[in-house]
Each structure stands twice: as structure tokens, then as C-alpha cells.
């Protein structure tokens, strides 16, 4: 409605992506977006549209997803809104915070960087309570070799070889800057890949992790990495790490 004042509200949310078809609404099944939108519309009592910093895939989790929506409603204490939203949400989705954002704030366009964590469990035995939140690799990879490979993937370059294509892909270019890839040994049997960058191509983080693991397992020679990058062909790189090990950790503004 012309002249009507809308508040731009920014939410930080966490979710367990198990059983969901990803962030984005789809006819294929339940999505995070659909569940969150329903709870917000119930509280605000009018239709809303959500924008998200990252459209996470089916099975991917989030610790710090950022979304926004416009509302004509005024709330005296925004710190109470997460409680109201969470009362209407399944236990697998939690609104962590709510605050007013600038009128021009957009969770994707305004983002300066993203951080993803990917968890890997090593060894012949799979720990049951890790199975939905990590990738089980029975064959122990060479961690130092993987760290050397990760260093070659840091920086600004064409990452076509690490991008999966789908019907909605409309990239004008495939150059991206990976700020850092750390491989942290949590304990004897667990690793965490910490990947930071400004933005990422479709499934790029999972494809980077899968390729690094393949190098650590000796399935791909580390000397092949420059040729893989230069080929700009997804078939030349390693496997895609499964969705359940990936967490969207933080969005930086």
C-alpha cells in the first residue's frame, strides 16, 4: 500500500536439516522456509515473503542462517518475538534473534562473507549419534596432504570444476574467492573443515571437501589439482561430500 510504513526485520535462525527438502519451498516436500513462514504469518497476522542469505540444500544444517521479511506490524520488544515464533515451530527449527534492519538490508546482497563447517568421522566404526551430522569415511585420509591441497584452493579463481549445475543456475561468471580452508582435528576420529569466502557456487563447498578427501585417500593426486581447476569441468574433480555433514555457520555483514 503506497505510503504505508513497513519494518524490515532480520532474523538469525538455526535448524536441523534432516528430513527437510532444503531451505526453499518446493512441491517435493517440507522445507525450512515454509515452516518458518507459517509461524511468522501467524504472529504478524498478514502474508510475508522471506529472503535468506543461503538456500541450503536438503539435509544441510544451519547454525546462523540469516533471513528478513517486511511487516506492517509494530512490536514493542523484538527480543520477545523469537519465543513467539519458536512456540509455533517444530523443534528442529529455532529463531535465535530478531532485530530491526535498515530499509535496504537484504540478507544475500548485503552479505560480506559466509562461513561453512563440514564434519567428517573417520575410522571403521560409525558413531550412531554422528550419522546425521557428519560424513563417515572408514578409510583414514592423510590430513597433512589434505591441508596442502586446501591451500591450493584458497584465493580468487574459476571454480567451475566444483560447481554442480541445475535448472535454476544463472551464473554470469564462475570466479569466486575462497578466503580460507582450515582442517581442524576435533579428536582422534573427527575432523572439521572450516571454509570461508564471500560467496559460493552451487554445491561448491561439498565438492571442495569431497575432492580434498579424495586427495587425502590417494584417489586423486595432489599434483592434478592445477589441471582440475584449469579444466573447468565438474567431472574432473572429486566426489561431492554428502549433505548431512554441512553446516552454515555464520553470515558476515
**pLDDT value for 1:** 44
132: pLDDT strictly greater than 70:
yes
195-237 residue pLDDT tens: 999 999 999 999 999 999 999 999 999 999 999 999 999 999 9
The pLDDT of residue 5: 81
Concatenated DSSP letters of 124-184: SS--GGGTTSSEEESS---HHHHHHHHHHT-EEEE-GGG----TT---S--EEEEEEEEEE
pLDDT computed for residue 168 by the predictor: 56
The pLDDT, as a whole number, for residue 2 is 53
C-alpha cell at 20: 527437510
**Range 142-165 average pLDDT:** 97
The full DSSP string for the chain is -TT---EEEEEEEEE--TTS--SS-BTTB--HHHHHHHHHHHHHTS----EES--PPTT-EEEEEEEEEEES---S-GGGHHHHHHHTS-TTEEEEEEEE--TT--TTTT--EEEEEEEEEESSS--GGGTTSSEEESS---HHHHHHHHHHT-EEEE-GGG----TT---S--EEEEEEEEEEEEETTEEEEEEEES---TTHHHHHHHHHHHHHTTSS-GGGHHHHHHHT-GGGS-PPPPGGGEEEEEEE-
Q: Say if residue 4's pLDDT is above 70.
A: no
Sketch out the chain's domains with CATH numbers.
Answer: 7-100 (3.30.70.580), 113-252 (3.30.70.660)
How many CB atoms sit inside 10 A of residue 201's CB?
Answer: 18
Q: Phi, psi (5° rounding) for residue 72?
A: -85, -10
The pLDDT of residue 150:
99
- What percent of the chain shows pLDDT beyond 90? 92
pLDDT digits (tens, 9 = 90+) for 13-36: 999 999 999 999 999 899 999 999
Catalogue the active-site residues: 57
Q: What is the pLDDT of residues 156-194, one digit of tens each?
A: 999 999 999 765 567 788 999 999 999 999 999 999 999
Q: What is the average pLDDT score of the chain?
A: 95
Amino acid at each position: 500500500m503506497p505510503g504505508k510504513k513497513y519494518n524490515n526485520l532480520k532474523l538469525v535462525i538455526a535448524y536441523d536439516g534432516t528430513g527437510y527438502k532444503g531451505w526453499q519451498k518446493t512441491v517435493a516436500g517440507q522445507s525450512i522456509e515454509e515452516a518458518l513462514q507459517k509461524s511468522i504469518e501467524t504472529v504478524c497476522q498478514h502474508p510475508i515473503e522471506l529472503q535468506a542469505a543461503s538456500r541450503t540444500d536438503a539435509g544441510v544444517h544451519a547454525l546462523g542462517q540469516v533471513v528478513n521479511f517486511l511487516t506492517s506490524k509494530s512490536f514493542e520488544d523484538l527480543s520477545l518475538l523469537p519465543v513467539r515464533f519458536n512456540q509455533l515451530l517444530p523443534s528442529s527449527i529455532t529463531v535465535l534473534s530478531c532485530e530491526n534492519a535498515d530499509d535496504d538490508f537484504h540478507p544475500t546482497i548485503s552479505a560480506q562473507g559466509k562461513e561453512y563447517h563440514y564434519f567428517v568421522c573417520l575410522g571403521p566404526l560409525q558413531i550412531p549419534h554422528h550419522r546425521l551430522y557428519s560424513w563417515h569415511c572408514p578409510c583414514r585420509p592423510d590430513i597433512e596432504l589434505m591441508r596442502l591441497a586446501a591451500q591450493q584452493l584458497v584465493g580468487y579463481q574459476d571454480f567451475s570444476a566444483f560447481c554442480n549445475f541445475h535448472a535454476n543456475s544463472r551464473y554470469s561468471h564462475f570466479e569466486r574467492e575462497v578466503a580460507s580452508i582450515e582442517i581442524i582435528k576435533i579428536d582422534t576420529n573427527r575432523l572439521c573443515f572450516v571454509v570461508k569466502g564471500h560467496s559460493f557456487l552451487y554445491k561448491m563447498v561439498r565438492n571442495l571437501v569431497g575432492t580434498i578427501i579424495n586427495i587425502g585417500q590417494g584417489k586423486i593426486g595432489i599434483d592434478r589439482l592445477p589441471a582440475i581447476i584449469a579444466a573447468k569441468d565438474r567431472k574432473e574433480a572429486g566426489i561431492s561430500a554428502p549433505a548431512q555433514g554441512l553446516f552454515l555457520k555464520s553470515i558476515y555483514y
